[in-house]
Structure 1
Amino acid sequence: MRVLHVVTGLHAGGAERQLALLLRHLPADQEHEVAALTGPGAVARELRADGFTVHHLDMRGNRDLAVLPRLTRLIRSGRYDLVHTHLYRAMLYGRLAARLAGVRAVIATEHSLQSGVIEGRPTSRGVKALYLGAERLGSTTLAVSGQVAGVLGEWGVPAGRVRLLPNGVDAARYRFTPTARAAHRGRLRAQLGLPIGAFVIGAVGRLVPGKRFHVPLEALVRLPDARLLLIGEGPERAALLDRAARLGVRDRLVLTGERDDVPELLTAVDVLVSPSREETFGLAALEGLAAGLPLLHSACPALAELPAAAAPHARLLPSEPEPYARELALLATTRPGPFPVPPAVAHYDIARIATDLAALYRESVGAPPAAAPAVPAPAAPRTGREPAAPLPRGRSRRTAAAPSGRRRPGG
């Protein structure tokens, strides 16, 4: 089976990182390629390094309709059995292009829909009309949480066309032996200019207003010996730096930019914070728990849909500086962790999520279900010296040209 994933872009946002993670865990009898409408980024580099073909369509704006025939030609010439779209623009163009190319099995994952907001922007009547019109061209919409499924229902998407398939986390990727963890922690703190004995607050995500990273930044004022490590990139970078300077904490803020070594970076952190008021899933929170960190958060549907015992070291707080400063001061004094990985992480294990998605692909194209695989032994903690994994079947190390035959800029 050949599957083309159409995504708006491949910078290191939550949806893009989740796509890369899923692709690494889908079965070898399914061949997957990726088409990015807009420019490359850290995730494109990761995918190419893993051996996946990545096509770039060079879309130059939301209304660049010329991308539609290019994408249609790619789908037709690639003879894909199924098209899977991710994010709003890719959903609009990908579903239509798949139909024009004659592909009827079209799945969309809804990563970013909230009540009145999609991908951090307010939804207008026109956006909603376009969304619902494009939805009818597909076969199934996957909601990453019950909250997203609820919004889809409020918008009028028929319940029979919506399935719940949450995001997943690769718990083994965050598991290190004590020796390896200490080595990563010392090396990365030295590289990032973080004192080895400092209390380090970590946060992961796009630097956009909705993530509310100014909350831990303002809390930092009340924590004179703490540092804040923000892992991610985005349009709020300059504003955060300006605010840090005004608050007098510029020398205690570290911005890493886009990184593909988040599990290692989290070994340098003592607590993870996720202060956004709204999330569609809360992947960064799960990553912090997988790393054995205490978690302070303000919204995480992934945890809200589980009993409290599934994440005993997670604390739900109002998204304001004062409560975060209070809890962070307590953690700075006690310095707990690393903790055992909580049950919530196993519940969202990426291997299970990928197995469910692969089964849906087979169902969507009318293929017989796969034989039940043998249950693998639990992964051992990583030492940091493991050999590289062999290249899975069905992948190519080539970099694809765009459908016109002209070489596109690489990622």
Structure 2
Amino acid sequence: MLRVLHLIHGLNRGGIEKWLITMLRQIPRSECEMDFCCKGAEIGDLAPIVQELGAKVYHCPLTPGHFDFIQCLKGILIEGEYQILHNHLGIYSGVAVWLAHQQSIPVITSFHNTQFPPETNFTRLPIVRQLRSIYGSVSVNYALHYSDLVTGCSQGVIKSLDPQGTKIKNGSEVLYYGVNLPDISTPEERTVFRNSFGWSADTPVIIHVGRLIEQKNHLGMLSVFQKVLEQIPTVKLLLVGEGLLRSLIEQTIAQRQLEKSVLLLGLRDDVPWLMSQCNVFLLPSFHEGLPVVALEANAANLPVVGSNIPGLTEAVLNGETALLHDVEDLDGMANSVIKILSDRQYAQQLAQAGRAWVKENYSLAVSANHLVNIYRSVIKT
């Protein structure tokens, strides 16, 4: 039986964390015991779910000096007799790789994005930002060179980390995430959903799911929506998620007088169901690793309109399951949304193709088998 410790920031409501939970459900614990160590200030809202599934959740906060974190993680690795450390720390990956090698434990380092921008007010401070950038460069390069295996959630992520193919020493592999296929909503369910907001049954609804951070380009999204609203006055936009930019987004909505058309729903536990009630998923991100939300949207029979960026171009098929445009092409995104909302037959064509694409390439079973095979290959080497 395999024993694996996942090292993550926290068990929060993100795509990676939700995918790891689905892997817990998909892979029998008799085949592979997977536990978690969180380096963030808190272990996260989803920790109780992980514990209910039988996994252990440890907490080793990563402080600037790293000493307490190293001692804590070292103790967990030794006492838990883990065979593999699966490292998901991104810019902070280097210290975990170093420690695993000190304990002669194979380490897999997984990268989930093409960039590692600061996400707190403190790390955005000019001097701190520069120091973080220098630290990150050294840390990531160390992890790339010394990990027993480097995985990326897309080929675009691996290419961005090692464009010349000279940094990764022991091999790399794309590890795609898997998602569930929810039930397709009925016309009656969609009517009830819209009526719950006081909308008519034929109200077109656009949805976005993601943290309220710069990467997701919410201001560009509101510009796209405003262009759609000019052509389809009854359209609504649902924003699901929380983050540092909530106040700025709320202010922008008020300044543009969009309060009656844009709703911020906060964090939700029923995202796949929400998606299945809507008409279009909008994702104009500046960068992505492999956006799980795009896979979830296609799985929920929902067409995607978004930016033509690495990661997203692997999650969807441009022109078949989604319509992608340059990040700056807000007019193009708006026109694609309008086309989908105005042409039901075309919308259904994209939706059906998207669901079939996810079922064949990103199912939970495919993802779980690939993950276990990766673990076995690392142990053998």
Quote how far apart the aligned CAs of 1:137 are.
4.2
Deviations 1:52-94 (A, max 9, x none): 32222244x5555422211111111111111101132552343
Asked if the contact 2:288–2:309 (Cα under 8 Å) also holds between the matched residues in 1, the reply is yes
Indicate the structure with greater helix content: 2
3-state SS of 1:254 partner: strand
Q: Distance in 2 between matches of 1:21 and 1:91?
A: 23
- 1:77 corresponding residue in structure 2: 79
Asked if the contact 2:152–2:158 (Cα under 8 Å) also holds between the matched residues in 1, the reply is yes
3-state SS of 1:238 partner: helix
| Superposed counterparts of 1:332-411, under 5 Å | 332-335=341-344, 336-337=347-348, 339-342=351-354, 343-345=356-358, 346-366=360-380
Greater relative contact order (Cα < 8 A, sep 6+): 1
Quote how far apart the aligned CAs of 1:293 are.
1.1
Q: 1:321 and 1:355, CA in 2 relative to 1: closer, same or farther beyond 3 A?
A: same
Runs of 4+ aligned residues of structure 1 deviating over 6 Å after TM superposition are 119-123
Q: Which amino acid aligns with 2:368?
A: A
Q: Which amino acid aligns with 1:12?
A: R
Total equivalences in the alignment = 358
Q: What percentage of aligned pairs have identical amino acids?
A: 26
Asked if the contact 2:100–2:107 (Cα under 8 Å) also holds between the matched residues in 1, the reply is yes
Q: Distance in 2 between matches of 1:268 and 1:177?
A: 9
Q: Where do 5+ consecutive residues of structure 1 fail to align?
A: 368-411
Q: Distance in 2 between matches of 1:75 and 1:89?
A: 21
Q: Is 1:298 aligned with 2:300?
A: no
- 2:273 corresponding residue in structure 1: 264
Q: Give the TM-score, by structure 2 length.
A: 0.83
Asked if the contact 2:157–2:310 (Cα under 8 Å) also holds between the matched residues in 1, the reply is no
Q: Distance in 2 between matches of 1:5 and 1:131?
A: 18
Asked if the contact 2:303–2:322 (Cα under 8 Å) also holds between the matched residues in 1, the reply is yes
Residue in structure 1 matching 2:88, options 83, 86, 89: 86
| Superposed counterparts of 1:8-407, under 5 Å | 8-28=9-29, 29-38=31-40, 39-59=42-62, 61-63=63-65, 65-88=67-90, 91-100=93-102, 102-114=103-115, 117=116, 124-154=133-163, 158-159=167-168, 161-172=170-181, 174=182, 176-179=183-186, 182-183=188-189, 185-186=190-191, 188-189=193-194, 195-222=200-227, 223=229, 224-302=233-311, 304-305=313-314, 308=317, 312-319=320-327, 320-335=329-344, 336-337=347-348, 339-342=351-354, 343-345=356-358, 346-366=360-380
- Aligned-CA RMSD value: 2.9
Q: Distance in 1 between matches of 2:198 and 2:45?
A: 23
Q: Distance in 1 between matches of 2:315 and 2:45?
A: 32
Quote how far apart the aligned CAs of 1:107 are.
0.6
Q: Where do 5+ consecutive residues of structure 2 fail to align?
A: none
Q: 1:194 and 1:267, CA in 2 relative to 1: closer, same or farther beyond 3 A?
A: farther
- 2:4 corresponding residue in structure 1: 3
Deviations 1:313-364 (A, max 9, x none): 3111233432233222333333433832534312122321221220121121
Asked if the contact 1:142–1:165 (Cα under 8 Å) also holds between the matched residues in 2, the reply is yes
Asked if the contact 1:12–1:42 (Cα under 8 Å) also holds between the matched residues in 2, the reply is yes
Asked if the contact 1:143–1:162 (Cα under 8 Å) also holds between the matched residues in 2, the reply is no
Q: Give the TM-score, by structure 1 length.
A: 0.77
Q: Which amino acid aligns with 2:44?
A: G
Q: 1:229 and 1:350, CA in 2 relative to 1: closer, same or farther beyond 3 A?
A: same
Q: 1:190 and 1:169, CA in 2 relative to 1: closer, same or farther beyond 3 A?
A: farther
